[in-house]
Structure 1
Amino acid sequence: MTIKTKLNALMTPCLALGLGFAALPAQAHFPLMNCWFEGKTVACEAGYSDGSKAIDYAVEMYDYEDNLIAKEMTDKRSIVEFPHPNTEFYLVFDSGHEFPVEVDVVEISEK
């Protein structure tokens, strides 16, 4: 075997291994939202699975007929607050990452 043949035999698996690692997807983080009642207020904290905050993002409140009740922005703590409506509702945090997060009123409890 010549040196060139040995070098090619060694380089081919290394190149294939390197390309394989380059094709791995980056670790994705996904949006999360936790909501609770504070008296007559509905509060939610929005963020991401990697622990980062979602500052200045919209959170929308809808009734069960999909009518927009209210829309607020998260603050510097990644928290948003709404007055409790006199109807059933759900909240939506759409960070632009694939699927928005929805929290239904039946999933919310007093903190």
Structure 2
Amino acid sequence: MNNTSLLKAVLLFSGFSSFHAAAHFPLMSCHLAQDKVICEAGYSDGSTAVDYDVEMYDYDDNLIAKEKTDKRSIAEFTHPETDFYLVFDAGHESPVEVDIVELKEK
């Protein structure tokens, strides 16, 4: 391999590795607060998720409610009478799901 080919290979590899280092995935944490369910959505790189949908489903996969995250990346729901799970789908990677059994009072 000559020096030009080696340089091209190094540049190509460094381009891929910098792209991989910049990749991030969606995160969401939720908790109970009186009669509300509060969820904060964001990304693994620490960036916020403003104006994204967070959806609430019952265990039969029926949509119960849908809220948009606010400027703080928070979506608030009224606590339903049925069991449920929440989904934050940022449109790439895998959607985040949080089940009612994972929620704690805050």
Give deviations 1:60-105, integer Å, cap 9, x for gaps.
0000000000001111110010000001000000001121000000
1:14 matched residue in structure 2: 7
Alpha-carbon distance between aligned partners in 2 of 1:36 and 1:9, rounded to the nearest angstrom: 59
The offset of 1:17, in angstroms, is 1.7
One-letter amino acid matched to 2:3 = L
SS across alignment from 1:87: coil
Gaps of 5+ in 1: 1-7
Match of 1:105 in 2: 100
Structure 2 gap ranges (5+): none
Q: Which of 71, 78, 90 is residue 73 of structure 2 equivalent to?
A: 78
SS at match of 2:64: strand
User: What does residue 51 of structure 1 align with?
Assistant: 46
**Letter of the aligned partner of 1:10 in structure 2?**
N
Aligned length: 104
Deviates more, 1:96-105 or 1:10-19: 10-19
